[in-house]
Structure 1
Amino acid sequence: MVFQCQRDSWARQFNTKVASCCPAELPAESGVRKETLQGFHVVLEDTILFPEGGGQPDDRGLIDDIPVLRVTRQGPTAVHFVQTPLEPGREVLVRLDWERRFDHMQQHSGQHLITAIADLMFGFKTTSWELGRQRSIIELDTPSVTAEQLEALEKNVNEKIRAHIPVVVREHSENDPEIEMVRSRGLPDDHTGPVRIVHIEGIDDNMCCGTHVSNLSDLQVIKFLGTEKGKKNKTNLVFLAGNRVLKSVERSHGIEKALTSLLKNGAEEHVESVKRLQSSVKLLQKNNLNLLRDLAILTAQNFKSNPARGQLFMLHRKDGDSEFMNIIANEIGTEETLLFLTVGDEKAAGLFLLAGPSEVVEKLGPRVAELLEGKGARKRDRFQGKATRMSKRAEVQALLQEFIGQQGLEE
């Protein structure tokens, strides 16, 4: 079946009738949590809401004032998922989310154009494509595309856009010999009715069920974002078409303005400014590490020089790291002292190290990790890991003091 959305891809609203309505469920994702929406599958006598197919996502819109959350194709039928029942026979007004549809039309027709020109210019065959939310990808059957080829291809497709070349959709019967002469990945097994051929005058004929612009000038412009290594010795060509290019320029300009304000110079100097900042940060980090190492050694020496030192040494430092803790443990030694060292946020997450005689660490390490609600592992005389509840350090201290009070560290 050919739907009204395929006969007239520019129609934004359409009057029709409800053919059927039955209870249904829709798997949906809400953030990181998956949930199932309860609702209804509604079939209309005809529709301007495109069901997903041909690499093109489905449309969104309203049936009267009821939001359509998904449109899928089941054989010759377009099925609309809604959360309010609609009585069969009811006359309804279907309204289309035009911004979403026109974006899909631009990306889809842009893909047809790029695919055809890439084949004509370099013999690169398209094996698949993906219309993504932010960018689209064409998988080319070639291990690589040179920068010169990419530049020439982009120049050529934009010349075709400026040439105002018509895009015409024609319907053919399944036994029409003309459909054997066009690009196609074959018809679905459950296909019925006419076969649609998308004709770009003088450039391409392609079997397709999707919605398309009526002239290449409707694409406005195509911009390649580069290539990526694909699977099985193929190359992914990343592109934007039409309004996505304008939105990308707007985002880039916003970032440029923000950087100009932060860096206090013009856009042409941003890269060099960031490089200088990166060098400064690396130097500061190196100096900070050296200071932390020196501080670790001084901390350990101060403890060792204290004649009243006990068998337990505890320390927390917010800006420390694993190396800081291990230097202290190395300098103090673990044969006669039990060390509990932590770094990071005092009340939230951080790192911990329990060091001391091997048999003591083996016994107490898992308990310390449990109290801090963290995970760790033992290696000889040390048990270290990550903690999520640094606020429990006092409980660990009590555990260690109780152990030393009862058993000490004598073998």
Structure 2
Amino acid sequence: MLSLTHAGTRPRLIAGSSDSNSCFSNTKLIQMAFQCQRDCYMTEFTTSVVSCCSAEIKQEVNGKKETLKGFNVKLQDTILFPEGGGQPDDRGLIGEVPVLRVTRQGPDALHFVAAPLEAGQEVLLKVDWDRRFDHMQQHSGQHLITALADQMFGYKTTSWELGRQRSTIELDSPRVTPAQLQELEEAVNEKIRAHVPVNVQLLSVDDPALEKVRSRGLPEDHAGPVRIISIVGVDDNMCCGTHVSNLSHLQVIKLLGVEKGKKNKSNLIFLAGNRVLKYAERSYSTERSLVSLLKTGPDEHVEAVDKLQKSVKLLQKTNLSLLRDLAVLIAQNFKNDPQKGNFFSLHKKEGDNEFMNIIANEMNTEETLVFLTVGEEKGPGLFLLAGPSKLVTEMGSQVLDLLEGKGAGKNGRFQGKANSMARRGEVETLLRQRCQHGVSQEE
């Protein structure tokens, strides 16, 4: 059997030694757990294909759900963890074939791949170590935070989520104070610095030792032994996930803060291990960009942004006032034009619905058909058609079609959103031609 020693947190494969982060006492129980659970640090493993059958999964591509056809492969054993216990599944390779998802079905793990594999063939598994070790750090970090939050403040964990960038622990408490948060962060990092071991045990479901183990219960389809993660001297917790063998492998934990949760609960946001380093790197990069943009030091960024926001609000208020004045002036100029006719059209890049409605209100739309648009010349924008009710109702749907828009109207007004102004000229020509036949209400 292959196993490993630990060089820092990156595993190194060696042959013929015992599992490096396990303390099993029953060979039969060992055989009922996956290899990834017996040795969480193993990155390569040789096994054989038991079966391969057609299957499909739904995955998200660019925000949309798509169905992907492929094959579910069952192996003799696996180092790829199937989703469970709040931990996402692993990624990796079976030979040269990428594994796109790993799920649990009773005592078996199903590996979804795009290409078929032959039953009985021997294959080499490789795990995506960066993804796996990240999950190990976040999951073990959650166990540590959960245990100490309970011991220090009596706050029970009711659920948790291992997110892509940050993780969340739901605590059964309506409030966690800043002082408690700081005290908890100091306590978890003290345990990390103390190099506390993390052991794994497999117990039968009728073992009396389970009565002393923290647990929210076994799933209905649970099969095989019960797996216990023990942070020595801190916590014993029923769990199927992959974990570090020593708290020192967590490196550091940062509690980012607490958000209000559902039903008088609190969501504690945290990062563990490499995520803390990446967070610091992103924060520093953002800080340097802000220094360049704001021309101030990091300590003055909040004040500088506050001043900018106030300036922007003042400019927006001034701009709105100018647009209103401009709308009135545009309408008055049209009304004072002796050759104004019975049709008025205007497009302006800047503006909004209020701007267009002010122009229409200032005009005599009982005798004049008004077509107004704001936005990009060839892109999306807003439109307003105002005039005699019968004419506006007649032409409204045609305007919508040409502008690829959505809208509605009543009482001589038809307005909405245009997806494209590319055919605005066609709309104006159509309306102008219609007006040549008259726009009075008596038509």
What's the TM-score once normalised by structure 1's chain length? 0.97
> Hey, what does 1:73 align to over in structure 2?
104
Contact 1:317-1:344 within 8 A present in 2 as well: yes
Q: Deviations over 1:185-210 (max 9, x none)?
A: 22222323221111111111101111
Q: Confirm whether residue 137 of structure 1 aligns to residue 181 of structure 2.
A: no
Q: Deviations over 1:326-380 (max 9, x none)?
A: 1111212312211101110111111111111223223322332222111112142
Q: Confirm whether residue 261 of structure 1 aligns to residue 297 of structure 2.
A: no
How many correspondences in the alignment? 411
One-letter code aligned to 2:361: N
Contact 1:311-1:409 within 8 A present in 2 as well: no
Q: Deviations over 1:108-129 (max 9, x none)?
A: 0001011111111111111111
Q: Distance in 2 between matches of 1:14 and 1:320?
A: 64
Q: Distance in 1 between matches of 2:68 and 2:333?
A: 64
Q: Which secondary structure does the structure 2 equivalent of 1:114 belong to?
A: helix
> Hey, what does 2:304 align to over in structure 1?
273
Q: Confirm whether residue 110 of structure 1 aligns to residue 141 of structure 2.
A: yes
Contact 1:136-1:240 within 8 A present in 2 as well: yes
Q: Distance in 2 between matches of 1:336 and 1:26?
A: 62
Q: CA deviation at 1:34?
A: 2.5
Contact 1:317-1:343 within 8 A present in 2 as well: yes
Match of 1:127 among 132, 141, 158: 158
One-letter code aligned to 1:368: V
> Hey, what does 1:31 align to over in structure 2?
62
Determine what percentage of the aligned residue pairs are the same residue. Answer: 68
Q: CA deviation at 1:399?
A: 2.4
Q: Deviations over 1:38-86 (max 9, x none)?
A: 2211111111111111111111111111111111111001111112222
One-letter code aligned to 2:409: R
One-letter code aligned to 1:354: L
Contact 2:369-2:439 within 8 A present in 1 as well: no
Match of 1:166 among 192, 197, 202: 197
Q: Confirm whether residue 357 of structure 1 aligns to residue 414 of structure 2.
A: no
Q: Distance in 2 between matches of 1:396 and 1:218?
A: 67
- Between 350-359 and 127-136, report the one with greater CA deviation: 350-359
Q: CA deviation at 1:235?
A: 1.2
> Hey, what does 1:380 align to over in structure 2?
411
Consecutive unaligned residues in structure 2, runs of 5 or more: 1-31
Q: Distance in 1 between matches of 2:294 and 2:392?
A: 50
> Hey, what does 1:319 align to over in structure 2?
350
One-letter code aligned to 1:9: C
Q: CA deviation at 1:381?
A: 2.7
The root-mean-square deviation of aligned C-alpha atoms, in Å, is 1.4
One-letter code aligned to 1:29: E
Q: Confirm whether residue 184 of structure 1 aligns to residue 215 of structure 2.
A: yes
Match of 2:430 among 396, 399, 409: 399
Contact 2:367-2:439 within 8 A present in 1 as well: no
Q: Distance in 1 between matches of 2:221 and 2:359?
A: 71
Consecutive unaligned residues in structure 1, runs of 5 or more: none
> Hey, what does 1:93 align to over in structure 2?
124
Match of 2:233 among 184, 189, 202: 202
Q: Which secondary structure does the structure 2 equivalent of 1:69 belong to?
A: strand
Q: Confirm whether residue 250 of structure 1 aligns to residue 281 of structure 2.
A: yes
Q: How does 1:56-71 map to 2 (within 5 A)?
A: 56-71=87-102
Q: CA deviation at 1:410?
A: 4.6
Q: Distance in 2 between matches of 1:274 and 1:373?
A: 39
Q: Distance in 1 between matches of 2:321 and 2:438?
A: 38
